[in-house]
Each structure stands twice: as C-alpha cells, then as structure tokens.
C-alpha cells in the first residue's frame, strides 16, 4: 500500500487549510474542522522523509475509541469519523499549551534527569531514580504548543505569569488531565499494558472546555507491557514498550536528534515496514481489536468521497 504523505482536497465551503506535522486540517464553513490523519511521522519535532503505511488509520481509530471512552469526563470536539483516516469535528480555540502527564521516568524526562536535572517544568523529582521507574505520583510537565519548530518545556508558574492560560482554566486543565490519565491507565491495565506518559490538548468554545486532537495513541503516548515490568526494572533491563520511542532511539543511534546540522538517516523499506508493524501491534494491544488494513487502490479518492458525504449531511442541516 502506498502511504499517504499529503493531501490536497478542495471541499465545499472550505475556508482554510493547515498542514501540521502529521495532520492535514481543513476548515469548513467557519464551523467544522476536517482532520485527515496522514501517514507522515515526526520525531524531535521534525517530519521524517518517509511516510508509514497504515499509521494514519491506526492513529485515527485509536483516538476515536478513546475520545468516545472519555466523553463522560469532559466533552470532546468529535462530530463524526467518516473514514478510517478522518475525523470531523467542531472548531475550538486551542489553548497554547500541551498537558503532558507522566507516571514513570522515561523518554524526555529521563534524558533531563540523567543529565543531572532534578526538576522538570518546575516539578521537583527525588534523587535515586533510574530509567523507567514509577514516579511517587503522576506529574504534569506542560509544553508550549509551537506552530513551527520545537515545543518547549514550561512550568505552571510561567504559564500563569505570562497569561497563556487563566488560573481558572488551568486548574480545570490539570483536573481533566489527571482524570483522563486515570481512565487511560485503567483501560491500558485491562489490556496488560502500562500507560507510562501521554499528552492532552484542550480548546474552548465560548466558556466551555473541550478535549481536542488525539489521545492515547502511539504518537502521543508511551506504553510498557505490564507483564515482567518489575523483573526488568530489578534487573536493570530495558522495558518492552509500545510507543514512538523506538523511532527516536533509532534516530539517536544514527546521529540525529533534530539539532541544526544533523541529517535524518536513510529510512530503508525494512525500517519503514518495521515501524508500520509496531504501530499496528500497538493498535491491537491497546484496543483488543484486530486491525483491518484498508487497502483500497485509491485511498485519496475513498477519503474524499467519505468526507463529502459527511459534509453534505452536516451542511444541509
């Protein structure tokens, strides 16, 4: 199957188009957002040169499942999922921070900790921790939401001092973040997984806060297999994990961390195929469903037809 690296649709009453790192977003009639989850993949805030077959389908379907499963905690932006790679929803004004929550010392937080830092985003961490240890309690380590380039760590204090989010809204964002993480942790445990860390994005319509974008996908989350976790920690062995971290580690091992002057290593067909397999593996592990590859001969035509039918229904109301 040919991976979908980009789209270039022209939908009825289309007002705007935005190309993100992974998603192509079409604004319709100033009221609806059509989000096409492409097969692009990014790491270290850099879009890699090769797209990954079925990655968009994996991300969109996992996000749809978890957004539906958390709608009792707070409302979300979704109106319809007309295609395996597309979500249509309401337009929200996004908060300019991403709410990252960590239950374990892994990934970016571990890299900071191993470099000697004992505070991440203003949150103090105790001495004596090792990679992948469970933290005393989950911590929120927000980042700025960069339209271009790298997201940056930021503390609660700086967010409030700079007026990026009001204290009333930020307190709610923290409350929602903890509640969503608890739900995600419970659902992961049912599948024999540990939700290590994840991020959430929120927006507003009027005075009401909504959960937006994707949640609990391999692009926004890190999972460990629960079976053998304690034994691997005790033996100082790497954890068996399902996340995009294996892509980052492969890039680091080949001299790339998104820094100036560094070149992305060649992504061979074998590497691309292995990444695709890992995404599908996570889908099946976290959802408990068998992943059904939609191998249409012309995916772009399928997406366009499905979105047009959805928009026709919405715009005729």
pLDDT per position as a tens digit, 24-83: 999 999 999 999 999 999 998 899 999 999 999 999 999 999 999 999 999 999 999 999
Angle, alpha carbons 129-243-60 (nearest 5°): 140
Q: Token pair for residue 95?
A: 């908060």
**What are the structural domain ranges in the chain?**
14-93+267-315, 97-247
> What pLDDT does 92 receive?
96
pLDDT per position as a tens digit, 213-222: 999 998 899 9
Q: Is the pLDDT of residue 148 over 70?
A: no
pLDDT, mean of residues 138-152? 81
> What pLDDT does 249 receive?
87
Computed over every residue of the chain, the mean pLDDT equals 94
CA 287 – CA 76 distance, rounded (Å): 19
The label of the residue with tokens 């629960």 reads 226
Q: Quick one: pLDDT band at residue 241, thresholds 50, 70, 90? A: confident
> What pLDDT does 60 receive?
97
Q: Is the pLDDT of residue 179 over 80?
A: yes
CA 218 – CA 184 distance, rounded (Å): 13
Q: Quick one: pLDDT band at residue 1, thresholds 50, 70, 90? A: low
Q: Is the pLDDT of residue 285 over 80?
A: yes
Q: pTM value?
A: 0.89
Fold of 97-247: D-amino Acid Aminotransferase; Chain A, domain 1 (3.30.470)
Which segment of 188-192, 236-240, 293-297, 304-308 scores lowest on mean pLDDT? 293-297
Please determine whether the domains at 14-93+267-315 and 97-247 fall in the same fold group of CATH.
Answer: no
Q: Which of 240, 244, 234 is nearest to 130 (CA)?
A: 234
pLDDT, mean of residues 202-222? 94
The alpha carbons of the chain give a radius of gyration, in whole angstroms, of: 19
> What pLDDT does 133 receive?
98
Percent of the chain with pLDDT over 70: 98
pLDDT, mean of residues 145-174? 89
pLDDT per position as a tens digit, 244-284: 878 988 999 999 999 999 999 999 999 999 999 988 988 99
> What pLDDT does 6 receive?
95
Which segment of 52-61, 139-148, 274-283, 287-296 scores lowest on mean pLDDT? 139-148
Fold of 14-93+267-315: Phosphorylase Kinase; domain 1 (3.30.200)
């Amino acid at each position: 199957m040919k991976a979908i690296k980009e789209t270039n649709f022209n939908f009825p009453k289309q007002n705007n188009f935005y190309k993100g790192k992974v998603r192509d977003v079409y604004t319709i009639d100033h009221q609806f957002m059509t989000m096409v989850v492409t097969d692009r993949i990014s790491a270290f805030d850099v879009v890699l040169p090769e797209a990954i077959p079925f990655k968009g389908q994996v991300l969109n379907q996992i996000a749809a499942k978890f957004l539906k499963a958390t709608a009792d905690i707070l409302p979300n932006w979704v109106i319809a999922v007309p295609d395996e790679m597309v979500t249509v929803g309401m337009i929200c004004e996004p908060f300019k921070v991403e709410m990252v929550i960590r239950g374990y010392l892994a990934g970016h937080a571990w890299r900071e900790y191993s470099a000697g830092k004992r505070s991440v985003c203003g949150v103090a961490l105790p001495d004596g921790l090792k990679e992948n240890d469970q933290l005393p309690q989950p911590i929120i380590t927000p980042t700025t939401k960069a339209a271009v380039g790298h997201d940056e760590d930021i503390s609660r204090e700086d967010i409030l001092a700079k007026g990026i989010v009001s204290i009333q809204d930020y307190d709610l964002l923290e409350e929602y973040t903890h509640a969503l993480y608890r739900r995600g942790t419970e659902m992961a445990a049912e599948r024999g997984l540990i939700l290590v860390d994840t991020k959430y994005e929120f927006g507003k319509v009027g005075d009401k806060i909504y959960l937006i974008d994707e949640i609990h996908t391999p692009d926004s989350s890190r999972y460990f297999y629960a079976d053998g976790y304690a034994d691997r920690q005790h033996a100082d062995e790497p954890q068996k994990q399902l996340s995009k971290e294996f892509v980052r580690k492969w890039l680091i091992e080949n001299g790339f961390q998104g820094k100036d002057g560094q070149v992305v290593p060649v992504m061979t067909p074998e590497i691309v195929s292995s990444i695709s397999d890992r995404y599908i593996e996570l889908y099946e592990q976290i959802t408990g469903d068998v992943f059904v590859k939609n191998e249409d001969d012309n995916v772009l035509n399928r997406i366009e037809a499905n979105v047009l039918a959805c928009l026709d229904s919405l715009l005729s109301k």
